[in-house]
Amino acid sequence: MPTRTVEDYIKRLYLAEQALTRTSSGNAKVDPKSRKKTGGKSDSKAGLVMLSKLAQAMGVVPGTVTTMMRTLDEAGLVKYEPRSGCRLTERGRKLALHVIRRHRLVELFLVRTLGLDWSEVHEEAEVLEHAISERVLDRIDRHLGRPLFDPHGDPIPDRDGKLPKRAESSLLECEKASRVKVSRIEHQDAKFLNFARDNGLIPGEVLIVVQVDTTAGLVIVRGSAGIEIPLGTTAAGRVRVVKA
Amino acid sequence: MPTRTVEDYIKRLYLAEQALTRTSSGNAKVDPKSRKKTGGKSDSKAGLVMLSKLAQAMGVVPGTVTTMMRTLDEAGLVKYEPRSGCRLTERGRKLALHVIRRHRLVELFLVRTLGLDWSEVHEEAEVLEHAISERVLDRIDRHLGRPLFDPHGDPIPDRDGKLPKRAESSLLECEKASRVKVSRIEHQDAKFLNFARDNGLIPGEVLIVVQVDTTAGLVIVRGSAGIEIPLGTTAAGRVRVVKA
DNA sequence: GTGTAGACTTTGAGTGATCAAAATCAAGCG
DNA sequence: CGCTTGATTTTGATCACTCAAAGTCTACAC
């Protein structure tokens, strides 16, 4: 049985891998800061996650991650390439998706059944995801009607780790004047989520893209209330949408 | 912040103290075995819980408990009397009741909202009681309508640690031909709980006491279905009732 | 009063997870 | 090539929790 700590490393590694492929694949417009941060050197070779990224995500010092990655490699959950980085094995990926399934189902449950605000459920779920048995998880899943997405629009893996697919893009990539539906708010920061909620940037809401000015780094959308919302590129990049 | 382990020790100590006062106060009929087990020596002086009891309850070796009790004494949660036993301090009692509140609310929630069987919720709650935040706990409490008793009939402490009172006795103490209502099934063993459920021994059920034979160690009750249920003293002692 | 059983404590060690700080490495630059 | 820089690894230590096994107490029994 993996410990809760192991589950956490694996989950974080999965999410880091996702961030990796998303940034490297055609998704464009990396914000200028991230380049500076890694000293201009090539960021993580060939799909490997740098240990320092993981250390930061886990809130531990780098040495701890090195040790942990060696252990997880031996356990067959991670492929660890010394001095280069690491990647999940198939078994690791399965475990990660399992933990993420628990996390997201719990989030949705807290919002739908217990009425918590979507900005507060992430932290709760961080703890509960390690305490929920299969039995209870399945009850929750059933109780919610086998949902496909959590309150932030993040996909919920099914019991086999399969994720529902969707043709999503970020607001940054939208054409001016297009009509889109918010599918997902990335990033779990409570402040940002409150801001999003207050401006109607909620999964399901329909928006009109009023302006996309990459030079000024500005995107303006009009929500269903008819009010225009100006967003910087960072914020706009976190709002993912589908055609509507 | 107390760790989950500390919470567990404190909770177990509280329950052991309860068992103590219940057995020592007029409740009578100690079953013969318990005497033999402690070698005929006086069981736990003056309201102190023997460390070996605690060790057994926690599933650890006695040495571990000694160490832990010293730490908890220093932390002000426990009064530890070397070579005699230990008892909770007021702070310890508060903490214990807090953990028990979480445990019992979770149990009821799992039964009422998620539809689990009362025989399976104890183990789930053992884990979840350490993972639930105040925020979520209060939502659950509200969602259930501030309940006073858990599915087994055990009282749920309120936020200040106050327990609802009830004039309860065990089936062993009932008069023949009396009419009683089941208020509580003590003991968390799944097998016993299944047996109880299958025979209608559920909080709320009304019973007629048909026979109480202390010599043969036999109690017979008739349930609402009209069927007579014979119980040994051990089992009967676990069924607690109020007048009906 | 001496023995003894059983409860209790001590000691030494291990595990899992972490840190601080020193040592090492690899890549790109001049 | 040799340097610098930042990532990475190593080393030695700590903390919370646990165990096994040896040692100590104490109350009762005779």
Residues 6+ positions from A36 with CB-CB distance below 8 Å: none
Q: Which residues of B are less than 8 Å from A120 in CB distance?
A: 135
Average pLDDT of chain A is 91
Residues of A in CB contact (< 8 Å) with B are 110, 113-116, 120, 124, 127-128, 130-133, 135-136, 139-140, 143
Greater pLDDT, A41 or B127: B127
Choose from A3, A106, A114 for mutation: most chain B CBs within 10 A: A114
Average pLDDT over every residue of B169-197: 95
- The distance of B123 to chain A (nearest Cα, Å) reads 10
- Residue B21 has a pLDDT of 84
Average pLDDT, chain B: 91
Reported as a pLDDT band with limits 50, 70 and 90, residue B36 is very low
pLDDT digit string (tens) for A81-112?
999 999 999 999 999 999 999 999 999 999 99
Residues near A229 by beta carbon (within 8 Å), at least 6 away in sequence: A199, A200, A201, A220, A221, A222, A223
Phi and psi based region of residue A50 (left: phi greater than 0; alpha: psi -120 to 50; beta: remaining): beta
Q: Which residues touch strand D (CB under 7 A)?
A: A 37-39, 41, 50-53, 55, 62-63, 65-67, 69-70, 82-85; B 3-6, 40-42, 58-64, 67-68, 71, 83
Q: What is the spatial distance between Cα B15 and Cα A242, in angstroms, rounded to a whole number?
A: 55
> Pairing state of beta strands B239-243 and B169-170?
antiparallel
**Would you tell me how many other CB atoms lie within 10 Å of the CB of residue A42?**
6
Beta-bridge mates of residue A182:
A241
pLDDT band of A45, cuts 50, 70, 90: low
Q: Would you say residue B16 has pLDDT above 60?
A: yes
* Average pLDDT score over residue span A144-150: 98
**Whether residue B28 has pLDDT greater than 60:** no
How high is the pLDDT of residue B180?
97
Residue with token string 């650890």: B60
What contacts A98, CB < 8 A, 6 or more positions away? Answer: A157, A161
Q: Give the residue-averaged pLDDT of B224-232.
A: 95
Q: What is the mean pLDDT of residues B28-53?
A: 58
Interface of chain B against chain A, CB under 8 Å? Answer: 110, 113-116, 120, 124, 127-128, 130-133, 135-136, 139-140, 143
CB A65 within 8 A of CB A76: no
Confidence of residue A24 (pLDDT cuts 50, 70, 90): low
Taking only the tens place, the pLDDT of each residue in B49-81 is 999 999 999 999 999 999 999 999 999 999 999
pLDDT digits (tens, 9 = 90+) for A118-146: 999 999 999 999 999 999 999 999 999 99
Distance A86 CA to D9 C1' (A): 15
Q: How distant is the Cα of B232 from the closest Cα of chain A, in angstroms? A: 33
Q: Are A202 and A241 in contact (CB under 8 A)?
A: no
Reply yes or no on whether the pLDDT at A26 is more than 50: no
Residue with tokens 């087994």: B152
pLDDT at B24: 63
Please identify which residue in the block is written with the tokens 């160490």. B67
Residue of A nearest to B110 (CA): A136
How many Å apart are CA B87 and CA B116, to the nearest integer?
Answer: 35
For residues B210-221, average pLDDT: 94
- H helix or E strand, kind and range, residue A207: strand A206-213
Structure tokens at B84: 């005699």
Range with the poorest average pLDDT among A34-48, A81-95, B209-223: A34-48
Q: Which nucleotides of C are covered by protein (CB under 7 A)?
A: 5-12, 16-22, 25-29
User: DSSP readout, B22-62?
Assistant: HHHTT-----HHHHHHTTTS--SSTTPBPHHHHHHHHTS-H
